Structure 1
Amino acid sequence: MNNAIKLKVKSAHSKGYQAGYPLVTENAIAQFPNGIKEGTLLDLFDEKNRFLAKGYYGKQNKGRGWILSRNQQEVIDQSFFEKKIKMAIDNRKTLFKDEDTTAFRIFNGEGDGVGGLTIDYFTGYYLVTWYSEGIYHFKGAIIQALINVADVKGVYEKKRFAVKGTYIDDDDFVTGERANFPLIVKENGINFAVYLNDGAMVGVFLDQRNVRKVIRDKYAEGKTVLNTFSYTGAFSIAAALGGASKTTSVDLANRSKSKTIEQFSVNGIDYEAHDIIVEDVFNYFKYAVRKQLSFDMVILDPPSFARSKKHTFSAGKDYPALLEQAIQITANNGIIVASSNCSTFDMRKFKDFIDKAFRVTGGKYKILEEYSLPEDFKVLKEFKEGDYLKVAIIKKLS
């Protein structure tokens, strides 16, 4: 597992690796050898032949691998992964002790020292997600390391390294005891039904935990709430439990309706008292404007990229226009929860988007709160792209 190939880093990139930058990129390396295989270990040296870092080769988006160690003598084996996973679990001890939260991230890629790998905890079960064939090459060592350092009921996996980053759909069970699905997990006392064996996504996005909590605890009471791109309705559930008078969930996917009904049901909420609509969000906005609908709270959490029959959405380009539509159907003094998980822009740029949308619509606003990734989604200050989540809770002033 430790026959590393030697690569030379261009001088313009050496300081970055010395400072802790974790991603191996095409333009940082003088030349990759022909036919290099996924999972190959890499020793990086600067142009004066001084050792910089040890990593592995694995194609992931625009990256070509990740740094694993800055110790030239480090052996990349099961023991190495055990140390990394144990340290990550130790850093989440508070969450493991929280009886109201039984689903969270225990290993967040480069933030915990192994880029291309995440591990999530779901009430005794662990979900390992592989983002490149390169890291999947180490599967045996990583799975055994996890079993050795954690109290594991069972392990499931997601492979996210097919062409164009699509999901490889096969049996996701790896080892241990198979779970009975839906598996009911808690998040700040909210129940969620999750499926670790059913496609690329499990039923709830764990990175929005703090945002759901503040919606429930602070903003939802007595409000009419529109949740767009609602997926399985997690924000709607939080709002309903916070005393919202009514929620409306809108998503294009057919299965979003049955999934949202299920999430309401596992929380003892009458789903028939709420609207669950299968529709293109862009079409729904036009309908809402035409019908002069107005909501006390609009939740806007689109994917970074989405395509329907009539619309293509790219967050980096189209978010201001989407926000303009949300502003039109938000009541005066109402709340907009604006969120993006797109890693190509930061919070400062996101605030520019917000400002632009309000200038176009002629409205005034105040940002009440900002959120980024929760504490279990550990990030490196040297890798700002890893801190991808941006949430602004905005008050539309009358």
Structure 2
Amino acid sequence: MKKIQVNKRAIKKFKRGYPLILAEDLTSDLPKDDFVKLYAGPDFLGTGYLSKQNKGAGWLLSRADIQIDQAFYMEKFAEAKALRANFFEDELTTAFRLFNGEGDGLGGLTVDYYAGFAVFSWYNSFIYAQKTAIVEAFRQVFPEILGAYEKIRFSGLDFESAPLYGKSAPEPLLVMENGVNYATYLNEGLMTGIFLDQKNVRGSLVNGLAAGKSLLNMFSYTGAFSAAAAFGGASQTTSVDLAKRSLDKTREQFSVNGIDPDSQKIYVMDVFGYFNYAKKKKLSYELIVLDPPSFARNGKKTFSVAKNYGELIEESVDILAKKGIIIASTNAANVSAKKFEEMVKAALAKRGVSYEIFQRESLPADFHVADSFPEGDYLKVLFIQVK
């Protein structure tokens, strides 16, 4: 295991157990894809690995001088399983995060649970190279898992998704969350059909927030928010997404819950185009959900949360019913919770409306976040009543 020297600026954060290793933390050239021991002079700081990924150069795994092997992985999986014991007992929810990367002590890997099946996501080439030991450790700790799939979230391989072991999941695989059914596909590219980190937001829609209200779901993807709202008693849902596949996927989410898709409205179009359409038709909505991708391109037009989220808020205010609610959400890692709230408030101020932020959500408990790495809690959601 290679010994790597850390510069003075980084010593304190690693002593606190901060897990993310950045290139600028190190005084020497980065070795490619290897386990390392971090030192400040003669002082040992911790054990980890280096491998380039979108978040940085690698991960600190332990403050102790240890071997990273199958026994280490088993220990981490066992700790993660114990933390989620109550989720396995919840009869109304059968999909959740089993293992949350650095939050559970192994940056670069997440594992999600879908009604008896597991989905591994590998975020760099080195952690993927440890797959044999990691998967065997997982199978020892989770023998009840029927089968598993893997998602490749780094460049260099010629596939995105593949079966990993065990039985094949049915297509669609129906999972339940807060009593609502969702159709998922575990081997259809990087996505499965539902973003599990939005469980609490969908739960609010199911448990009364949407009751009797008209809902507009922008960037609707497979319509999960719309299905939750309809299940929760919404008077009408409207789903808007530019991707053509969203139409059939959204209809399916209604159908698996016994809701006639023809009773709901689904549009395949650009969201800003829909805002203009709604204004021309003098449409209004009592509840608007805004959960865009961090970055998107439509022809020559680009959208990024950091630059353009305020525009979504302004456009939403223009078609919001009296005393309507906006659910403003982002998972953009480059936008802090403080900056996000400032952007939203600035946009509301431009429209000259009074408002109350009556609820805030972040990652649900199954997306365990390490105390030493609070930025791992990337989800920011504001529930805003415009008065």
For 1:66, the aligned partner's letter is: W
SS in 1 for 2:292: coil
Could you tell me whether the CA contact under 8 Å between 1:65 and 1:134 is conserved in 2? no
Q: List gaps (5 residues or longer) in structure 1.
A: none
Shift of the alpha carbon at 1:217?
A: 1.1
Partner of 1:279: 269
The alpha-carbon deviation at position 81 of structure 1 amounts to 0.3
Counterpart residue number, 1:88: 80
User: Aligned letter for 1:54?
Assistant: T
> Is the contact made by 1:181 and 1:194 (CA closer than 8 Å) also made in structure 2?
yes
1:112 aligned onto 2:109: no
Q: 1:53 aligned to 2:53?
A: no
Shift of 1:59: 1.1
* Residues 1:153 and 2:150 are matched in the alignment: no
2:146 is aligned with what amino acid? Answer: K
Once the 2 structures are TM-superposed, how far is the Cα of residue 290 of structure 1 from its aligned partner? 2.5
Runs of 4+ in 1 over 4 A off after TM superposition: none
Mapped partners of 1:87, 1:382: distance in 2 = 17
Aligned residue pairs, count: 386
Report how far residue 310 of structure 1 moved.
4.1
1:13 and 2:5 aligned: no
Structure 2 residue aligned with 1:140: 132
What amino acid maps onto 1:87 in structure 2? E
Note the C-alpha offset of 1:364. 1.0
Q: Which amino acid aligns with 1:160?
A: R
How far apart are residue 22 of structure 1 and its match?
Answer: 0.4
Shift of 1:216: 1.7
Correspondence 1:122 to 2:108: no
Aligned to 2:32: 37
Map residues 1-398 of structure 1 onto 2, 5 A cutoff. 4-33=1-30, 36-38=31-33, 40-46=34-40, 48-72=41-65, 74-150=66-142, 151-162=144-155, 169-170=159-160, 172-397=162-387
**Does the Cα contact within 8 Å between 1:158 and 1:168 map onto a contact in 2?**
no
AA aligned to 1:155 is A
Identity over aligned pairs, percent: 48
**Residues 369 and 168 (structure 1), Cα distance of their counterparts in 2 relative to 1, 3 Å cut:** farther
**Partners in 1 of 2:284 and 2:206 — Cα distance?**
20
Q: Which moved more, 1:182-191 or 1:55-64?
A: 55-64
2:333–2:378 contact (8 Å) kept in structure 1: yes
Residues 132 and 160, structure 1, Cα contact 8 Å, conserved in 2: yes
Please give the alpha-carbon distance, in whole angstroms, between the structure 1 residues aligned to 2:49 and 2:272.
42
Distance 1:293 1:203 in 2: 29
Normalised by the size of structure 2, how large is the TM-score? 0.97
Query: What is the rounded CA distance, in whole Å, between the counterparts of 1:11 and 1:270 in structure 2?
Result: 62
**How far, CA to CA, are the matches of 1:316 and 1:206 in structure 2?**
23
SS at 2:98 equivalent: strand
Paired residues of 1:6 and 1:45 also in contact (CA < 8 A):
yes
Alpha-carbon distance change, 268 to 317 in structure 1, aligned in 2, over 3 angstroms: same
1:170 and 1:128 map into 2 onto residues whose CA distance is 12
Letter in 2 for 1:25: L
Report the alpha carbon displacement of residue 52 of structure 1 after superposing the two structures with TM: 0.5
Per the alignment, do residues 169 and 88 of structure 1 end up closer, same or farther by CA in structure 2, a change over 3 Å counting?
Answer: same
Aligned partners of 1:231 and 1:174: how far apart in 2? 26
Asked if structure 1 preserves the Cα contact closer than 8 Å seen for 2:286 and 2:324, the reply is yes
Scaled by the length of structure 1, the TM-score of the pair is: 0.95
Tell me, which stretches of 5 or more residues in structure 2 are unaligned? Answer: none
Shift of residue 171 of structure 1? Answer: 5.2
